[in-house]
Chain A
């Protein structure tokens, strides 16, 4: 049976090459096939992991909500429109994505997930009833537009890193980049900043600058449509 083993090994190598060439299609197929198992076990997982959410964490989350109400809807006529902001608690973080436990059911895919300080963490990848799977920024296949101070730059995601295209005549002042992203118009922050990305500049890569995203430390996240 040595031949069967070698046949499977070569098949695996070819499938690996194919998956790495077409990232979007392959991950979608695997997600569709594995959906029932993922739905079942993510419920169990959130039941087990939510035991770790102790009283101290809950208190710190509530305090941070009270201290700075983060998003304000601006309107001249003061009336209650019933717009709520979805929020959740991070249960566990892996290298590619993290799971968030929420209360709301109306969350869809590709919603933005933002830290309590306004730092963009990622996008919603999959929703399993009340716990959602968030893809970290850098692991997708998207192209965004952002700003460095007053300059428009192009941001590309590439296997966990971000590639930022900065023009040649612009001189970077420090190694820490603050990239600003524009939020939807109906949401504004108290301190009049938009969502931003923080990270370290690593190296130059062709015409792009390689850029490592910031590591998250807080438990509370906000989720809103884009």
Chain B
């Protein structure tokens, strides 16, 4: 069941980023941070990014070496930061690298700044409270 949910989420984020990513903001790095923090194993974040890379890059550009670099950057980030606890700086670090890479290949830097503001608000309003409540109960 979870596999289907992540497939639908990948479809949604890929088509959003394809059309509105450059004009508004990239939505994928926000969802990637959420999945990394919510899931206990690394399987589902990797599965989600794997589907997203195939769908987004094959529709917007072509599937080529740029997409493989994108996925391997995500893999390195997960392997390096998997022992750290949830922290504002960790989330911003993951978010800013992914969104800066996406805005670098589409040459639209305003979208990554807008995404940074949205991520900061989402962290302090929503994500911190949800994860802390889950740990208590």
Contact = CB atoms under 8 A, between A and B. Distances in A.
How many B residues touch the partner, as a band? 20 to 34
Interface of B is mostly: helix
A49 B24 CA distance: 11
Given A34-B14, A34-B15, A38-B18, A15 B60 contact: no
A31 B43 CA distance: 26
B60 A94 contact: yes
B78 interface: yes
B50 A42 contact: no
Interface size class of A (residues with CB under 8 A): 20 to 34
B54 interface: yes
Contact of A34 (B59, B61, B67, B79): B59
Interface string B34-69: 000000011100110010011100111111100110
A1 B18 contact: no
Contacts, number: 90
Interface in A24-55: 26-27, 30-31, 33-34, 37-38, 40-42, 44-45, 48-49
B75 A5 contact: yes
Interface of A: 1-2, 4-5, 8-9, 11-13, 15-16, 19-20, 26-27, 30-31, 33-34, 37-38, 40-42, 44-45, 48-49, 94-96, 159
